Amino acid sequence: MAYLPAIEIECPQRGTIGAVIIWLHGLGADGHDFAPIVPQLALPAGLGVRFVFPHAPSIPVTINNGLVMPAWYDIKQHDVDRHVDTEQLRQSADWVHDLIDREMERGVPSESIVVAGFSQGGAVSFEAALTYPHRLAGIMALSTYFATAATVALNPVQQALPLLICHGSEDPVVPESLGRQSVATLQRLGFKPEYVVYPMEHAVCPQQIVDISRWIGRTLTVQGSSECS
């Protein structure tokens, strides 16, 4: 099977891998975008985390005048309702499912796999994780929106899944109102997402990295105490 090309970083570099975080980038970026954050997280080495940063395929993006760029799906209108190509988004979610399947084949239980994403990648993360047929560890959604909220085929096995949703209060790309809307939708579906807002634009800030590290530590089982940096 052909998988999405990806950057992989293991923490620790040598030893047993017991957990995986599949982290999707935003529009126009690639898997290199969030790789530098790994050492900043300073996770306990005992977690044995493998980070997988896949690259989206390059496609024409309507809101950027049809320019071809890395994207998980086409965005047809850049407005509050975010008119997106849901078929392409679901295809990207299926590719994420394939990556999860591969990690399970490599010996990591699904309950130790987190799906994360920034902006477009976060929208795919919601769809991919909530529809996956085996219980996952959690979802980390950064500066994003729930693009398929009205159509997602929620798998009951994911009920009560831990979710961390982060957003910038000054985000000019994905308004913070969309983050709050995602939280409200998930609450109606029975989830209890953690929602944190930072005084930033469409980005990641130092305090957020600290909070992400703490959330990962709470969500995944700690097996040791030394830091991975």
Catalytically annotated residues: 119, 171, 202
- Cα–Cα dist 8/16, whole Å: 15
In the chain, the amino acid numbered 20 is V
Cite the beta strand spans of 55-144 per DSSP E: 58-61, 67-70, 75-77, 83-84, 113-118, 138-142
63 and 76 Cβ atoms separated by less than 8 Å: yes
Expressed in angstroms, the distance from the first to the final Cα of the chain is 33
- Cβ-based neighbour number of residue 156 at 10 Å: 7
CA triple 227-20-58, angle to 5 deg: 120
> Strand, helix or coil at 166?
strand
- State phi, psi for 96 to the nearest 5 degrees: -65, -40
